[in-house]
């Protein structure tokens, strides 16, 4: 069996590894697991890793358990089975992220940790791309031509490549809080470079935000949405949350 290939960017896996470096070891679910590249790294860190994916046939790690599971439905595990859940490159590929977060809440024990990533559609560069093109880098139009190419590249497994749900900071945080999580911190995969042409606009956005009342800024997450991680962050936002 060949070595598992990372289906996400290496920087995302490195960030997840850094987040979990000081965490108490325990039972951990990696979903979607892909070929198993991240699962191997987490197993080597001492976690009791179990894996789940819509296409378990692509999994390439012989000494780890892999189950078939769909994030849009009920996952094949019992309530409160895990201390940690990692969901990298998952929510943007499914129709119902609300179901996925609800399932993570069901599967995690009290005090358990969830790490979930989504493409950062809200950084300043992506906002300009949306303004000019009507779509962002990660969520291009799914035309018949685009879908035909994905079908050729991933025959019978198009969901691996299809980005169908542009979900950003506000939606993820809402779902986390709705299903009993406390958001602890957000991270980026790696800093974006050459953003200096956007700095005047970033300054203007932050200045406009200060004209709202303190109560309004708190209610609308103005500081969080204008933070370096969201507004100037990398291609991916990574959330760390605790089940409460």
User: Residue ranges of the domains in the chain?
Assistant: 10-243
Residue 1 confidence (pLDDT): 56
Class of domain 10-243: alpha beta
Percentage of residues in the chain having pLDDT higher than 90 = 94
Output the CA–CA distances (angstroms, integers) from residue 201 to 78, 115, 142, 193, in the order listed: 48, 31, 30, 16
CB burial of 50-80 (b: ≥16 within 10 Å; e: otherwise) equals: bbbbbbeebbbbeebebbebbbbeebebeee
This prediction has a pTM of 0.95
pLDDT tens-digit readout, 60-103? 999 999 999 999 999 999 999 999 999 999 999 999 999 999 99
Query: With contact defined as beta carbons under 8 Å apart, do 85 and 104 qualify?
Result: yes
pLDDT tens-digit readout, 18-59? 999 999 999 999 999 999 999 999 999 999 999 999 999 999
Rounded Cα gap, residues 95 and 97, in angstroms:
6
């Amino acid at each position: 069996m060949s070595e598992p290939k990372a289906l996400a960017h290496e920087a995302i896996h490195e960030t997840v590894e850094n987040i979990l470096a000081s965490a108490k070891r325990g039972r951990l679910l990696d979903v979607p697991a892909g070929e198993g590249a991240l699962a191997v790294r987490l197993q080597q860190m001492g976690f009791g890793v179990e894996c789940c994916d819509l296409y378990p046939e692509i999994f390439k790690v012989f000494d780890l358990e892999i189950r078939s599971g769909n994030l849009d439905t009920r996952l094949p595990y019992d309530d409160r089975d895990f201390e940690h859940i990692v969901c990298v490159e998952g929510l943007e590929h499914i129709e119902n992220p609300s179901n996925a977060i609800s399932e993570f809440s069901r599967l995690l024990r009290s005090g358990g940790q969830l790490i979930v990533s989504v493409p950062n559609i809200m950084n300043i560069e992506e906002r300009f791309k949306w303004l000019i093109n009507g779509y962002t880098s990660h969520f291009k139009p799914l035309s018949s031509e685009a879908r035909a190419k994905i079908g050729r590249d991933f025959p019978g497994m198009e969901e691996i490549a299809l980005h169908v749900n542009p979900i950003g900071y506000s939606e993820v945080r809402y779902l986390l809080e709705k299903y009993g999580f406390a958001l602890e911190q957000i991270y980026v995969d790696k800093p974006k470079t050459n953003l200096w042409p956007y700095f005047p606009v970033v300054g203007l956005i932050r200045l406009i935000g200060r004209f709202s009342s303190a109560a309004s800024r708190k209610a609308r997450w103005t500081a969080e949405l204008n933070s370096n991680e969201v507004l100037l962050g990398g291609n991916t936002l990574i959330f760390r949350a605790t089940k409460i």
